Amino acid sequence: MGLRGKLGLIILLVSSLAILVLCVAVYTQAQSARLDRTRSFADERIQLAAQSYDRDEVPVFGSKLDDPELPPQLREAVLEGKRATFKTGSPNAKMWAAVGVKDGKILSIEQDYDTSDDSMEALQQALIFGGIGTVALVALVSVILAGSLSKRIVAVAGTARRIAAGDLDASAADTVGKGKDEVQSLATALDTMATSLRGQLEAERRFTADVAHDLRTPVTGLTTAAELLPPGRPSELVRDRAKVLRRLVEDLLEIARFDSGVEQADLELVGLGAFVGSAVGRLRMQQALAPDSVIIHQVGPDETVSTDSRRIERILANLIVNGLRHGQPPVEVTVSGRTVEVVDHGNGYPEELIAEGPRRFRSGMAERGVGHGLGLTIAAGHAKVLGAELTFGAAPGGGALARLVLPATETQS
């Protein structure tokens, strides 16, 4: 049951209970007032009958002297010198009134007391129908109020999801409208959080871009100088570390371009299966990979897609290199329609990466090796520019699975 149903049910139950208590109280008060009136009427009659008997010694108003059916409680009260009334219980309830007269006798009057009459039945019906009508009205109002509150909370939740998806300009306060209630406070707090998050991300983007640009010139000089060192093991180590540092700077610059939002896809029609085969071949030559380290599978006919081939090749290279570096060969690349899957035979991606996606400078589990976490981040950035879906998971047979699904091509040739 959603929030709307729960709020409506709570309001309905509370209001129904309040209405029930009110109806019972009204009906009980009406019964008590009716009893008081009957008691007063019987008391007036016994007073008049006593006055008449003391004067004429003749019982009037149906009064009786020393009635044997007189309730014992009433008899005791009269013997104590009191004028009293007494109502017997149902069925056949009676209202008695008695008083002591001369000669030590007890004069009493008996009259029927119906527990219900026309006025009480009318009141009972009015309370029942009025209560049902009031409950129905409260139910309608509670549904409307709960629906309005639920709608506003759902709007805040929708804005939160938009912010989580990257739309940091979304405003929850504008979505829920004006007000000074708790929902408005929640929306304002969410907007404040989004503003703070936007500032932090912008600072991180500027830092990444500034660091990459500032390091580019000295790293280039370092790489050039390393090439001039005399042959030897120390020189090889320096050149190797310089190349690693250069690749890191290039990756940072690439990420900075993604963060700036200026990257656009250069679309062309590509036969996906054939292109993946040629891209893997080029990667084998560039990385000096063994022929059996990367295996390609084609499932179904080759499909032509409209995409940016350079970005597809970059994504494939990062996924395959990541699989070879942090997993175990062979890395299997499967092309099926518009989908490309890259599977290694290592320990698989960490659960955090599968749930949240790749994050820069976080390489995941130690058993998958060390790294900067930029390769998968760059692959995800290129996929976003292409409008493709890149997801990470566990392969059915074990190992890491990366699945790239390209968007549908509107026109095919």
What span, in angstroms and rounded, lies between the C-alpha atoms of 413 and 403? 25
Q: What is the phi-psi region of residue 387: left when phi exceeds 0, alpha when psi lies from -120 to 50, beta otherwise?
A: left
Contact 313, 333 (CB under 8 A): no
Q: Which of 281, 291, 293, 275 is nearest to 404 (CA)?
A: 275
Q: Does a structural domain hold residue 52?
A: yes
Q: Which of the 8 DSSP states describes residue 173?
A: H
**DSSP letter string, 267-325:** -EEEEHHHHHHHHHHHHHHHHT--GGGEEEEEESS--EEEE-HHHHHHHHHHHHHHHHH
Number of neighbouring beta carbons within 10 Å of residue 366? 9
Q: Which two tokens stand for residue 189?
A: 């707090």
Residues 181, 100 within the same domain: no
Residue 33 in any domain: the answer is yes
Residue 117's CB is within 10 A of a number of other CB atoms, namely 11
Q: What is the mean pLDDT of each run of 10 residues along the chain (413 residues)?
A: 69 82 86 86 88 84 85 87 85 86 85 73 83 83 76 81 76 75 81 82 74 74 79 81 76 73 84 92 89 90 90 91 87 92 89 79 50 75 90 88 86 44
Rounding to the nearest 10 degrees, give the CA dihedral for residues 237, 243, 244, 247.
Answer: 180
- 294 and 379 both lie in a single domain: yes
By the 10 Å C-beta count (0-12 exposed, 13-18 middle, 19+ buried), 361 is classed as: exposed
Closest-CA residue to 338 (of 375, 301, 392): 301
Q: Is the same domain home to 309 and 239?
A: no
3-state secondary structure of 395: coil
Which of 115, 142, 148 has the alpha carbon at shortest distance from 32? 115
**Pair 189, 182: CB distance under 8 Å:** no
Domain end among 222, 239, 262: 262
Quick one: pLDDT at residue 132? 86
State yes or no: cis peptide before 329, omega within 30 of 0: no
398 with 278, same domain: the answer is yes
Residue 128 lies in a domain: no
pLDDT of residue 333: 93
Where is the domain boundary, 196, 228, 262? 262
Residues 291 and 379 in one domain: yes
**85: helix, strand or coil:** strand
What is the enclosing helix (H) or strand (E) of 390?
Answer: strand 389-394
Alpha-carbon gap, residue 370 to 236, rounded angstroms: 21
Q: Domain check: are 217 and 273 in the same one?
A: no
Distance CA 366, CA 359 (A): 15
pLDDT score, position 1: 58
Same-domain check for residues 175 and 236: yes
Clarify whether residues 399 and 277 are in a common domain: yes
d(CA 110, CA 86): 10
pLDDT of residue 265: 84
pLDDT at residue 277, as a whole number:
92
Q: What is the pLDDT of residue 184?
A: 80
Within a domain: 24: yes
**Start-to-end CA span in the chain (Å):** 51
Asked if residue 139 belongs to a domain, the reply is no
Q: What is the pLDDT of residue 142?
A: 78
Give the pLDDT score at 367. Answer: 46
CATH number for the domain harbouring residue 341: 3.30.565.10
How many beta carbons lie within 10 A of that of residue 123, not counting itself?
Answer: 18
Give me the CATH number covering residue 230: 1.10.287.130
CA 155-200-178 angle, to 5 degrees, is 30
Total-model pTM: 0.52
Dihedrals phi, psi of 231, to nearest 5 degrees = -60, 150
Q: Which helix (H) or strand (E) covers residue 342, if one does?
A: strand 339-343
> How much is the pLDDT for 263?
78
Extract the tokens encoding 115.
């527990």
Given this model, what pLDDT does residue 207 score?
Answer: 74
**Same structural domain, 280 and 327:** yes
Q: How many CB atoms lie within 10 A of CB 240?
A: 11
Are 254 and 311 within one domain?
Answer: no
> Does one domain contain both 213 and 251?
yes
**Tokens read off for 183:** 């929902």
Domain residues for 178? 168-262
* In a domain? residue 126: no
Strand 94-100 relative to strand 389-394, pairing: unpaired
**Does 20 fall in a domain?**
yes
The reply to whether 135 falls in a domain is no
80 half-sphere exposure, CB direction, 13 A CA radius: 9
The DSSP code for 175 is H
Which residues, including other chains, have CB under 8 Å from residue 103's CB and lie 6 or more apart? none
Tokens encoding 251? 């990756």
How many structural domains compose the chain? 3
Contact 88, 73 (CB under 8 A): no
The last residue of a domain, from among 217, 238, 262: 262
Co-location of 304 and 183 in the same domain? no
